[in-house]
Amino acid sequence: MKTYAYGFPRLGKQREFKRLIEGYWAQKVTEEELLTGIKELNRKREETYQKYVNAHPQGEMTLYDPMLDMALLFGVYKAETLDEYFNLCRGKDALEMTKWFNTNYHYLVPDFEGKKPCFKVTTPVWNRHEGARENVHLIAPFTFLKLSKNLPQEYFEEALKELTEIVVQYINEKGFESVHLEDPALVMELTEKEWNLIQDAYKSFEKANAEINIFTYYDSVDCLQKLFDLPVSGVGVDFAHDRGENLAQLREIDPKGKKLFAGVVDGRNVWRNDLFKTAEVISELSKKFDVVVTNAAPLFHLPVNLLGVTLPEELLKKVAFAEEKLKELQLISQILSGDEAEAKEWVAELESSFGEITKVRERVKSLKEEDFVRKPSYQERIKKQQEVLNLPLFPTTTIGSFPQTEEVRRVRLLYKKGRLSEEDYKTFIRGEIAKAIQIQEDLDIDVFVHGEFERTDMVEFFAEKMKGIATTGNGWVISYGTRCYRPPIIYGDVERDGQMTISEIVFAQSLTEKPVKGMLTGPVTIIAWSYVREDIPTSEVAYQIALALKDEIKDYEKAGIKIVQIDEPAIREKAPIKKRNWDEYFDWAIKSFRLCHSSVKPETQIHTHMCYSEFGEIINYIVDMDFDVISIEASRSKGDIIETFEKVAFDRQIGLGVWDIHSPYVPSLEEMEVIVERALKVIPKENFWINPDCGLKTRRWEEVIPALKNMITVARKLRKT
């Protein structure tokens, strides 16, 4: 049985990728050092593949993002120097960034600016294909165009044909022997017209003098037979995220002599594979197909390997990171050739469960419909809230975090490494909170935040405070460019391990007369940015987390906190790729949010915050979450989200971000006013808040203070009119 793997992390165990590229940006690494460093890193990656599997793609390595590389290779953008390349990634000429399917990876979005595209093969400054001959990595034309923006519908057909031809021309010119073509957009719900366009355009692959294998992942392909009809050599499908739909189709399909790349080892979650069951499926498929065993979804969603991670002993025996997933592919092929010993050992602990808390199980089991419903109605409770809070028209607030300065990060690290006592650390954090409160006091903001100085990351922080969730210590994954995060692992029943956030919030509140928001990360976001157990339904995990947050909110109320914000920035991202599966997802997603706040007092005001995605399509689900106030990102799309509110009955209070905090640029009064004016055409002024787009932790105080000053001025001017 042949094995194949793709998408192995480019980050490097020591985060070499980040160090090299950021070093180059800071002018501490020369161009030559950068390029040789990246090549060396890639050589190590390829060696890792070769240790375990028969084949893998070549030319996968990027300096920032594969979508950008495609755009450069085929002439959508130009970058003749490395600095020009990086200008397209960051800074004021940067391409927009958005989530890659339903993952937490962000790609750079090629922009056709409404014009007819004109493709040509170029030799990019970063030539990822140098020396590559076999399984040369490319993003397929359909996925590339489908994920780009401002490509007018009327040009799509032509563009797809042209780009496919250019790709074939490139393959032939370079003399590649085989090509690894990634086409995950084929798992989207496509129209019949789109399928026809694809089949038509991809006919050109016939002219390629190379073997072409086309890979799909993250979900099932709705018309799998159509892929087997294409003039390609092999088709890759995902068996881990397809709800069984791919396998069911394959049983009926005519292989037409194509290879089947069976994606059986999950590239998105950390649980060890049930190797013997998998081997059975492969045996069955082998009767009909020429099967190659591979991973389901690229492996870069996982940390490099388990070396040096800080997980509980029992958990270590149940998980696999990227390198261990390669090992699993090897073990499956061993089983199939009759060698079972090592595989048996690998799965020995698979069935055992741990981290069960009876109390939590029972609490979830006994939930009734009314536990998900807050009373009284919004219209009644908002009056009570206004009496208590007494806020002016156009209340001003921020989203939660304030700048995480060099000093804050340094002190937190000292504490983590045990070089600073808990008491000294607490004193330091309180000092930062006090400063932040004073700044908000001076600015005369209406609703305060404590600044989140004690939090490294909005999910990891809560993971550390909850039973049943493990943090990994060094399990880094790229979220975009060189930016990394460490997804925690939700392995057992989740419960609060004592109060999580109360002391900081209460301390902040003790310093001011203004209301300070209690600040929580919601259940869906905690789940979306973690690896989640699969032995119980995700809905149950969500309710467990919600109950923990519910207890925290109770404690806020007892301590006199009047406003609680539950952030759910990942609610859109976590939605399934196929819309026909949305109802099922949003059902538990919304209920978990409602469970957090359903039993608060009428006068406690519940806020939520969302960002990073297009919310237009899901606005009806959002309304159902039954919060009192929402703050939502708006300025990056220049307020396009506002149109959404023309179409739905939206009676809640809302703050549309007037300042794009992702850029160091301080927006002027006028720029903020443009967004507000547009918004006030559809949202009644009594319901309108003034706030930035998102938390301010990546900004510097020198940017934050003038921008907030402008924001306050906008609110004051509005109150006078």
The partner residues of 636 in beta bridges, in order of sequence, read none
Which tokens sit at 657?
């971000």
Which residue's CB is nearer to Zn ion, number 227 or number 625? 625
Helix (H, G, I), strand (E, B), or coil: what is residue 41? helix
Select from 103, 273, 401, 530 the one that contacts ligand GLN (CB under 6 A): 401
Cite the DSSP H helix spans in 74-186: 82-87, 141-146, 153-174
Q: Which residues ranging from 550 to 609 are in contact with ligand GLN (CB under 6 A)?
A: 567, 569, 609
User: Of the ranges 47-55, 314-322, 398-406, 574-582, which one interacts with ligand GLN (CB under 6 A)?
Assistant: 398-406
Number of alpha carbons in the 13 Å side-chain half-sphere of residue 505: 26
Element holding 417 (H helix, E strand): none
**CB burial class (10 A; 0-12, 13-18, 19+) of residue 206?**
exposed
Among 593, 513, 520, which Cα is nearest to 555's?
520
CB-wise, 298 or 400, nearer to ligand GLN? 400
Q: H helices of 263-420, where?
A: 275-286, 313-316, 322-336, 341-346, 358-365, 378-389, 406-416
Report CA torsion sign: 566, 571, 573, 574.
positive
Cα angle: 527, vertex 614, 518; to 5 degrees: 50
Determine whether the annotation assigns residue 633 to a binding site. Answer: yes
Secondary structure of residue 178 in the 3-state scheme: strand
Which tokens belong to 157?
Answer: 């057909």
> Which residue lies nearer to Zn ion by CB, 124 or 569?
569
Scan residues 648-707 and list those touching Zn ion (CB under 5 A).
694
Instruction: Quote the CA–CA distance of 133 and 45 in Å, as a whole number.
Output: 17
- Residues with Cβ within 8 Å of 465's Cβ and at least 6 positions away in sequence, in order, are 496, 497, 498, 500
User: Judged by CB under 6 A, which stretch of 113-121, 124-132, 246-254, 399-407 contacts ligand GLN?
Assistant: 399-407
The amino acid occupying position 560 is: G
Binding mask 436-465 for Zn ion (x = CB under 5 A): ------------------------------
624 labeled part of a ligand binding site: yes
Interface characters, 438-467, with ligand GLN (x: CB under 6 A): --------------x-----x---------
Query: Please, which residue, 162 or 552, has the CB nearer to ligand GLN?
Result: 552
Task: Give the three-class secondary structure for 667.
Answer: coil
- Binding ligand GLN (rule: CB under 6 A), the pick from 20, 151, 320, 399 is 399
User: Smallest distance from the beta carbon of 599 to ligand GLN, in angstroms?
Assistant: 23
Should residue 569 be labelled a site residue for Zn ion when binding is judged by CB under 5 A? yes
Total residues interacting with ligand GLN, rule: CB under 6 A: 13
Name the DSSP class of 89.
T
The answer to whether the annotation marks 401 as part of a ligand binding site is: yes
484: annotated binding-site residue?
Answer: yes
User: 72 is in the binding site of which of Zn ion, ligand GLN, none (Cβ under 5 to 8 A by kind)?
Assistant: none
Residue number with CB closer to ligand GLN (183 or 573): 573
570 binds Zn ion (CB under 5 A): no
CB 496 within 8 A of CB 548: yes
Among 72, 470, 546, 611, binds Zn ion (CB under 5 A): 611
Shortest distance (Å) from residue 609 CB to Zn ion: 6
Residues 511-550 that bind ligand GLN (CB under 6 A): 519
For 521-571, the DSSP string reads E-HHHHHHTSEE-SSS-HHHHHHHHHHHHHHHHHHHHHTT--EEEEE-TTT
**Cβ nearer to ligand GLN, comparing 219 with 693:** 693
259 binds, among ligand GLN, Zn ion, none (CB under 5 to 8 A by kind): none
> Of the ranges 135-143, 307-315, 490-498, 692-700, which one interacts with ligand GLN (CB under 6 A)?
692-700
519 binding partner (options ligand GLN, Zn ion, none; Cβ < 5 to 8 Å by kind):
ligand GLN
Instruction: Please report whether residue 634 would count as binding ligand GLN according to CB under 6 A.
Output: no
As annotated, the active-site residues are: 662
Residue 102 CA, distance from chain mean position: 7
Determine the Cα–Cα distance for residues 80 and 308; give it in Å rounded to an integer.
Answer: 40
Enter the tokens of residue 240. 């881990």
Find out whether 581 is annotated in a ligand binding site.
no
Q: Is 290 annotated as a binding residue?
A: no
Binding-site annotation: residue ranges for L-homocysteine: 399-401
Binding-site annotation: residue ranges for Zn(2+): 609, 611, 624, 633, 694
Interacting residue ranges for ligand GLN, rule: CB under 6 A: 399-401, 452, 458, 519, 567, 569, 609, 611, 694-695, 697
Interacting residue ranges for Zn ion, rule: CB under 5 A: 569, 611, 694
